[in-house]
Amino acid sequence: MRTYLIKTPNLFRWIYPKLIWSFSTSKKELYLTFDDGPTPEITDWVLETLKKYHAKATFFCIGKNITNHPEIFQKIIEEGHAVGNHTNNHLNGWQTPVEDYLNNISIAKKTNQQFNKSTIQQLFRPPYGKIKKKQAQQLIQKGYKIIMWDVLSADFDQSISEEKCYQNVLKNTEKGSVIVFHDSLKAAKNMKYALPKVLDYFSKRGFEFKTIESQSILNQ
């Protein structure tokens, strides 16, 4: 049984107003994001596909995966994409004490900084989108921008078809949308089908794919 929402309800924005769900803009701009990497071959494929469409994206990386695959992490940065923190071990915030959760994020931050000397923004996305209010409050106090989403591709769901994954994005995306894909083995089949189609469809309609770091709201 499906336990996730494709389009984030406005109610969530009201409950968590300090979290970033999408961007208000009149411009044809979209924000692709990729969770759970870097992953050998999968992340490399994503980077090559983005390059074909002159698209930029934001990668929310797991700390232990950065440690295991630093060369892929560095390639993400070298190719002009943004990177964010996705905890060190893909922790579920609802199931983790506040102190343990914050410590795990700090470990991932140190790993990120070890390989990425140019980090300006502290972007964070909670795995599964699950974070306690106290965890969020303390992260914001530490200067993090917590990036959620308004469109979930559901590429991780192996019970849906590749076409359904594509339609999830196509039917729910609007100007300023933050879209979630995963550069992981689990999501690879659906993601590899949907991503090129999403890039092609919106590029032909004049949309640009930008990094979240480029959004001026992050500097407010």
The domain ranges of the chain are 10-214
Nearest to 157 by CA among 4, 53, 14: 4
In angstroms, the CA 151 to CA 170 distance is 10
81 included as an active-site residue:
no
Name the active-site residue from 90, 182, 183, 200.
Answer: 182
Average pLDDT over residues 64-85: 95
DSSP strands (E only) in the chain: 29-35, 57-61, 82-85, 123-124, 145-146, 151-152, 178-182, 208-209
Angle between helices 188-203 and 162-172 (to 10 degrees): 40
pLDDT surpasses 50 at 220 = no
Q: What is the pLDDT of residues 124-160, one digit of tens each?
A: 999 999 999 999 999 999 999 999 999 999 999 999 9
Name the active-site residue from 35, 36, 150, 183.
Answer: 35
Three-state SS at 139: helix
Q: Are 22 and 168 in contact (CB under 8 A)?
A: no
Q: What is the pLDDT of residues 170-180, one digit of tens each?
A: 999 999 999 99
54 included as an active-site residue:
no
pTM for the whole structure? 0.95
- Residue 45, φ and ψ in degrees, nearest 5: -65, -45
Strand partners, 218: none
CATH of region 10-214: 3.20.20.370
**What is the distance of C-alpha 28 from the center of its chain?**
19
